[in-house]
C-alpha cells in the first residue's frame, strides 16, 4: 500500500493484484528488445526484473478528507468470468487490504 498526502487529504492505494505478462500479450508489436531499450525509465515497478515482462497492476484509491472517506474503486473484482485473461475468477485479498488501511465495508 502506498500513501500520499495533499495538505490534509490522505490517499492510499489499495492493491488488488499484480502479475507480469509478455510485452506482446499486452501491446501488439512490443518485443523484449523494445522493453530493454526503455527499461531504464519504466523501472522495476512496471518491468519484472530479469524477465523484461510487463507488470499488470490493479488497485483502488482510498481518499480521506477531514469530512469524508471515499473509495475510488477501479478494480476488476473477484469471482468474475473473463476466460482467457489472467484475472479470470480472481481471488485476491482486496477486502483484507482495505481493512489493513483501516476501513471496513458496510453491508
Task: Give the three-class secondary structure for 77.
Answer: coil
Query: Quick count: other Cβ atoms within 10 Å of Cβ 33?
Result: 9
Number of domains in the chain: 1
pLDDT band, residue 87 (cuts 50/70/90): low
Distance CA 19, CA 15 (A): 12
The predicted-structure confidence for 15-66, as pLDDT tens digits, reads as follows 877 788 888 887 889 999 999 999 999 999 899 988 999 998 878 899 999 9
Residue 105 within any structural domain of the chain: no
Per the structure, the complete domain to which residue 93 belongs is given by 2-100
In a domain, 107, yes or no: no
Amino acid at each position: 500500500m502506498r500513501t500520499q498526502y495533499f495538505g490534509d487529504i490522505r490517499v492510499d492505494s489499495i492493491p488488488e493484484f499484480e502479475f507480469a505478462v509478455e510485452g506482446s500479450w499486452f501491446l501488439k508489436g512490443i518485443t523484449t528488445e523494445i522493453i530493454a531499450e526503455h527499461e531504464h525509465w519504466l523501472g522495476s515497478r512496471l518491468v519484472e526484473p530479469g524477465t523484461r515482462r510487463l507488470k499488470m497492476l490493479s488497485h483502488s484509491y482510498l481518499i480521506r478528507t477531514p469530512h469524508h472517506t471515499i473509495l475510488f474503486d477501479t478494480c476488476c473484482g473477484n469471482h468474475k468470468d473473463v476466460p482467457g485473461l489472467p484475472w479470470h475468477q480472481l481471488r485476491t485479498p482486496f477486502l483484507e487490504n482495505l481493512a489493513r488501511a483501516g476501513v471496513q465495508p458496510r453491508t
